[in-house]
Amino acid sequence: MSKVIVVTGAGRGLGTDIAREALVAGHRVVATGRRPEEVEKTLGGPQDNLLVTRLDVTSLDDAQAAAQAAVDRFGRIDVLINNAGNLFTGYFEEISPAQMRQQFETNLFGPMNVTRAVLPIMRKQRAGHVITITSTAGLVGMEFTSAYAASKFAEEGWMESLRYDVEPYNIHTTVVEPGYFRTELLVDGSTTWPELSIDDYAPRTAPRIAGMKSMNGQQPGDPAKLARALLTIADQDKPLQRFVAGADAIEAAQDKARELLAQAEASRELGGNLAHDDAHA
């Protein structure tokens, strides 16, 4: 059944693949980006089932205008795919406070803005689905990604809790945790390198940057296949609440689950008997 699907960050990378695959599947697509003329060109020009509209996710006004434009054109919004994001790299001390705030503005408050604009429409419909793309870095902390991982961990917590807020209105939520996909995340414009430089970190920083740049275009994941998988989830009557995307991501999630279980068990002797003596189990 045809759905109205809003895709953020549709001008490049995975967002373009999602919008393109959704159009091929017969859905009506609201493709958003900071430069709508480039989004439209990337998707092949004007189409009956395509609405291209400007959206900088850090602007709540933009988000509300995009949501209204979607309703004006197609009458409803069935699926929101929060895809837009960027990557600030670096060791924590070399990431400036301004860069850390920018990372959160785009990766956390950005999807919050768009979701805040869309949820009233979905509640009125008593139907909808919010899909938010986080990262394996939202499950597993990694060297040189403290800002990115922090924003993605926060996004995970927000989405896990949002599920309970909106379930009574027949609105579903899905968190998507991709591994390494051949998108444009590692190109200039999507990735920002450390702003500060500290001598202690210098011998590690340069090879890290070189290594990340060398990965661009070599990632194993196919974003078109991921896009089709997301559309499959959007069509499910009971969508997955968490979709771990890619063999590398699945392995990382399993490793993290085993680590958490081991750490919980190791904490039992010291942490399992900290209640007041008069507290009842």
Strand 79-82 relative to strand 128-133, pairing: parallel
- Residue 123 exposed, middle or buried by CB count within 10 Å (0-12, 13-18, 19+): middle
Catalytic residue among 148, 164, 169, 180: 148
152 within 8 A of 138, measured Cβ to Cβ? yes
* 3-state SS class at 234: helix
Tokens matching residue 120 = 């009233």
| Positive or negative: CA dihedral 72, 74, 80, 82 | negative
Report the C-alpha gap between 29 and 22 in whole angstroms: 7
DSSP for 27-72? -EEEEEESSHHHHHHHTTS--TTEEEEE--TT-HHHHHHHHHHHHH
Q: Determine whether 180 is an active site residue.
A: no
Tokens matching residue 58 = 């850090």
170 within 8 A of 126, measured Cβ to Cβ? yes
Give catalytic residue positions.
Answer: 148
